[in-house]
Amino acid sequence: MFMDIEAQKAKLLDEEIKDRKESVLERKALARQKMWGGIKVFTNQNKHHFIPVLILLALIIVLFYVFPIAPFALQYFEAETISDIPRAGVAKIIQSIEQVTQTTQSIYDEQLARATGAYYAGEVEKNQQEPLGVYIENLQAADPKVTEDEDIYVWGTLRAKTLNNEKPIEISLTCYGKDSTGANKVEGTAQPSEFEVYSYEEADIQCHFGPNALKFGSKTISFEASFNFETDAYLKTYFMSLERQRSMQRDRIDPFEEYGISDRDPKAIFTNGPIMLAMDTANPLIGVGEGTVSPLLGVTVEKRWDGMVKNLNELTVSLPKPLSFTAQCRLFDAGSNEEEYNTYPLSADSLNGAKDIVSFKTYKCPFNIPSEILGESPLTIKYFKAHAEYDYLLKKTTILDISRGLCNSICATDSCDVCPNYCARSGAPQKGYSCGGYP
């Protein structure tokens, strides 16, 4: 009886040791499989990025086979009892293997993101809700009771933040007042009138009108800030084999469900600022193959803030290789060959027509789709990019109610004070009259 129990314990011990050996070997095999799988996907889509990853893989193989860490760990499983196994040491070796795998995967993910355009997309999304550009806020009169025969000051706050610290924002500030009907424009003096912002700046601003510059009544006081700015945008688009797409349609299979894609109709994402820089294709899923008609890529510059786009100085559109605009595209000049993109600048003639945009401007061009864009993948994701540089005129207003001054105050009694010496009349005005001659 005692011998049977000892035999069973020995058998259980052997099985547990065997399981631990297999567990370590399985982890090691899984690590190699994940690395090879990642390299395979990466090289299918971005073969020219393969060399750095191959070098890293070679170093890992040296660690595994020239310095056999895992077999060294397995010698501990020859112990006679489970209590003799240094579990912490084995766990540490397994953890090291997992860390190497995770590091390889991290490097692969970043390289793949840069190659497909997702890295650029992340940079744009980071600035999507940032308060970029120039803002004029909190406009109000220095004194709640304002009369026409005194100095009038209107105060406010100007905030500015750049998209790119290497490109400062140059701001020119002006101000003026008008009647409620929009007539009788009177220029004020804005202080400060010039700014240069390299990162972020907040400053108090004011507009000054001298005595009798603005007559009594309701006036619209306007601040205008003219400044240069830039906006970036990207558009995610899906490509798949046209033959496969038609086959799935015949079988009533939804490609998005088949490949686990939740973002069925991606919209252009653009950095915050005074304009919307939008891009669009007719279909977010574009078929690739014989019979494909060159689709159109549309780019729209639309003002979002009060004011207008004074000048569109530059607009570039970048198509992921091997996509390119067709010869029928006349709006953009010949493209430049970048590492992962073909970039096309808007032509000089098109830029000349992009002035004083109070609504929007759209530019469309067809593009070619070579079949090699798919590589060996049934469906691939690519990113279109756009960059705009422009001069914007921002306008902010406030309403100011101006009372009559002493010169224009109507005498309501039979005995009024003597008129100030700067008024049109001298002495004391009669009842129903003012020192300024009213009525």
Query: What DSSP string describes 314-329?
Result: EEEEEEETT-EE-TT-
Nearest to 345 by CA among 316, 379, 373: 316
What letter does residue 63 receive in the DSSP assignment? Answer: I
Is it the case that residue 120 has pLDDT exceeding 70?
A: no
Look at 86-90, 217-221, 403-407 and tell me which has the smallest mean pLDDT: 86-90
48 by Cβ neighbours in 10 Å (0-12 / 13-18 / 19+) ranks as exposed
Over residues 67-94, mean pLDDT: 42
- The CA dihedral of 17, 23, 24, 26, to the nearest 10 degrees, is 140
Q: What is the pLDDT of residue 38?
A: 43
Over residues 280-285, mean pLDDT: 91
Distance CA 325, CA 220 (A): 48
pLDDT tens-digit map of 221-243: 999 999 999 999 999 999 999 98
**Sorting pLDDT into bands at 50, 70 and 90, what band is 428?**
confident
Q: Are 117 and 266 in contact (CB under 8 A)?
A: no
Over residues 335-342, mean pLDDT: 86
Widest pairwise Cα distance in the chain: 134
348 by Cβ neighbours in 10 Å (0-12 / 13-18 / 19+) ranks as exposed
**Sorting pLDDT into bands at 50, 70 and 90, what band is 61?**
low
Q: What is the pLDDT of residue 320?
A: 94
- Dig out the tokens for 347 from the structure: 């032509």
Report yes or no on whether pTM surpasses 0.75: no
Q: What is the pLDDT of residue 262?
A: 92
- SS3 for 210? coil
- Dig out the tokens for 139 from the structure: 């406009």
pLDDT tens-digit map of 244-253: 999 999 999 9
Is it the case that residue 47 has pLDDT exceeding 50?
A: no
Cβ-based neighbours of 392, under 8 Å, separated by 6 or more: 133, 134, 226, 227, 228, 229, 274, 275, 303, 305, 307, 308, 309, 310
Distance CA 37, CA 51 (A): 16
Is it the case that residue 95 has pLDDT exceeding 80?
A: no
Q: What is the pLDDT of residue 274?
A: 93
Better pLDDT: 60 or 297: 297
Look at 28-37, 235-244, 288-297, 336-345 and tell me which has the smallest mean pLDDT: 28-37
Is it the case that residue 188 has pLDDT exceeding 50?
A: yes
Q: In this structure, is the dihedral angle defined by the CA atoms of residues 395, 398, 399 and 404, taken in order, positive or negative? A: negative
Distance CA 371, CA 178 (A): 61
Tokens 């750049």 — which residue?
A: 162
pLDDT tens-digit map of 309-321: 999 999 999 999 9
Q: Report the b/e string of 51-78 with b at 16+ CB within 10 A.
A: eebeebbeebeeebeeeeebeebbebbe
Over residues 25-29, mean pLDDT: 49
- SS3 for 67? coil
The DSSP element (H or E) to which 135 belongs, if any, is strand 133-141
Distance CA 160, CA 137 (A): 11
Highest mean pLDDT among 100-104, 278-282, 312-316: 312-316
Look at 67-71, 308-312, 354-358, 376-380 and tell me which has the smallest mean pLDDT: 67-71
Q: What is the pLDDT of residue 335?
A: 80
What letter does residue 147 receive in the DSSP assignment? Answer: E
